[in-house]
Structure 1
Amino acid sequence: MPLSNEERKQLEELEQELTVEDPKLARELLSGSLGPSLPARAVFSILTVSVGFVVLILGIALQFTVLGVAAFVLMGAGAYWLVGLRNHRGRPGRPPG
């Protein structure tokens, strides 16, 4: 279903407002390159947590405390990266909307 003239006009106004408010985001949307890095970072984060978990189990099995602590830190870093993906565009703390 095609847009009516009124809808088309509203869409153009929204585009202009976006360009004024956040020109970098507007350029990214127009170029279509919203970042294949997001899935890559997610995979890396999940992989880091998984490796940390395996190393933690190994540290427990070997009763090697330092290895267990290092694995826990590795898992924490992976989880931090995974949660931090929302703000990966360099706008931490910016309110939504």
Structure 2
Amino acid sequence: MSLSEEERRSLEELERGLAATDPDLDLQLKSGRLRGTAARMIIGGLALLVGFALVIAGIITQILIVGVAGFLVAGGGAYLLLSRLVLRRRLRRYGQDGPDSPGG
């Protein structure tokens, strides 16, 4: 189903408004790539799974370097996955109860 001329103009106007108000979101939507928190969480989760698989493979094959590499990859994945959450909690806590807040 195609859009009418009026609907196309409205859509183009909305796109221009979005590009003017939030250029980062506009760039992300046009590029189609995940950026920021979503990308870190996906990459971190995948690295965590691959790391666990390497640890298990290292145990099964009894090759120490594979297990150690798996542990390091899993640790890095866990860091990517959780670092943003911990940082967000700290910022929220200091934003509400910090020395610069009106109540503190």
TM-score, L = length of structure 2: 0.51
| Equivalenced residues, count | 64
Instruction: Give the equivalent residue in structure 2 for 1:78.
Output: 77
More helix as a share of residues: 2
Distance 1:61 1:96 in 2: 48
Shift of 1:78: 0.7
Matched to 1:81, the amino acid is L
Matched to 2:75, the amino acid is G
Distance 2:95 2:50 in 1: 33
Distance 1:81 1:45 in 2: 5
Q: Kindly, what percent of the aligned residue pairs are identical?
A: 30
SS in 1 for 2:95: coil
Shift of 1:96: 3.4
Structure 2 residues not aligned, in runs of 5+: 1-20, 29-34, 97-104
Distance 1:38 1:80 in 2: 13
Distance 1:81 1:52 in 2: 13
Which portions of structure 1, spanning 4 or more consecutive aligned residues, are displaced by more than 6 angstroms? none
Structure 1 residues not aligned, in runs of 5+: 1-29
SS in 2 for 1:96: helix
Matched to 2:84, the amino acid is L
